[in-house]
Structure formats: C-alpha cells, structure tokens
Amino acid sequence: MSSLSQLRERVYEANRELPRRGLVLYTFGNASGIDRERGVFVIKPSGISYENLTPDKMVVLDLNCRVVEGSLNPTSDTETHAVLYRAFPNIGGVVHTHSPFATAWAQAMRSIPCFGTTHADHVPGEIPCTSVMSANQIRGDYEEETGNQILACFRDRKLSPGDVEMVLVAGHGPFTWGKEAAEAVQSAVVLEEVAMMAWHTLAMAPDTPPMQRALLDRHYLRKHGKDAYYGQKPTKRDTGVSEDE
C-alpha cells in the first residue's frame, strides 16, 4: 500500500498537469485521487493558484468530506468528487475543468455525438450531458447535487463509468475520471480534443450524422474489448516473470 505522501505527490502532479495541457486558467478546475484501503482522498485546496501548489498543500479527506489532514480548505467541488468515489468504486481519480470546448457543449446542454474514430477510440458512443438542475437542487447542497446529476445521467442512460470516463454537467462543465488521478487528467485531455473536433465538424457541416455503429464498435473494441489488439502485449519482464521461465 502506497503512503499518503505518495498520493499527495501524485495528485499534486495531476493538478499541475491541467494548466500545462491548457485545460484550466487561474484557479479553475481541480484533480483528486483516492486511497481505497484507507478510505480517504486527496484534493486540491480552494482558490490556490497552480503555480503556488505544493504536495503538502493538498487536502486529505474521508468519503464524508471531513478533513483528515491539511490546514487549507478543499476545493468547493469536493462533494462532487466524493459522490463519484462513493458511487463508482473502481475509479481512482477525478478531474473537473472548465476547458473551453467541453464547457461550450455543457453550456449548450448538449451531449457530444460520436462523429469519428478519434472519439470512438475512447468512448463507445456519445459523451453524455446531464439534465438541468432544479431550483431546489441548486438551493440545496449544490455540489453534492452536481454529483447526483451525474449519477442520474449514467443510471438513466444505462452507462458504465468504466466505459464512459467523462461527462458534461449542463450549464457547468466537464468531469472526468480514471483508475488514478493521472488517468483522469488524460480523460480530460481527450474530452477537450473530441469536443473541439465535434464543434468544428458541425461548424463545417451542421447536418453531419453520428458515425456508423459498425465502425464505432470496431474502433472502441480493438482498444477496449476482450479481444483488443491495440498496443503492445506485456513482456515477461513487465509481468515479473523471468525470461528463462
């Protein structure tokens, strides 16, 4: 089991990667990572610029959002991260940004159709957008209700968080996740790129239909299916088996 200091370091690096990838400005956005064995997660502190972040400034909380370690207030989106960790037991990291193209789709309250193979390599269909929050939800525990909107979207559409590692929150922006914080950042990068491509596709040809299902499935399954053949198979050295065995 890795130490909390190691998790702090990984979450710090994930947060620092967001501005490097052009996904955040100023203090927009946040990344977190969870230690399932300890039942705690680490997240960016609220309102601290990315330039001034250090691993020791990361905040450690339990899954009820009680601070376990750290002297700074956690990001205001903490409750949303916690909702996702509690509901999706196989994820290890969550990212929220206000990246321009993904946020534009969220503000338009539109899911992103799958127009081509770049999208299909990562998601087996459209990237969903949640429904609009009710006034009561907004007046209530807003950040927790944001997470609940994501859960309702996946439940209603019968989506798996293992297949679709990204979502748009209507009127707000994107959330992404992965097996660890670094993978959640990668999902955020992919989402922004796909959102940009989709926007340009519709700008050029507004009547473009989603790509044919057969090609979508072929591209997704060759990377993620049980008979996937994309990439390199692990060598004996990678699996810890001696070359002589």
User: Which residues are part of the catalytic machinery?
Assistant: 121, 230
For the chain, helix (H) and strand (E) counts, in that order, are: 8, 7
194 close to 200: Cβ distance less than 8 angstroms = no
24 close to 192: Cβ distance less than 8 angstroms = no
DSSP string computed for 53-107: --GGG-EEEETT--EEE-SSPBPTTHHHHHHHHHH-TT--EEEE---HHHHHHHH
Phi then psi dihedrals of residue 106, to 5 deg: -65, -40
Phi then psi dihedrals of residue 141, to 5 deg: -80, 85
Helices 181-204 and 100-107, axial angle in degrees (round to 10): 70
178 close to 14: Cβ distance less than 8 angstroms = no
Sign of the CA dihedral running 58, 98, 84, 73: positive
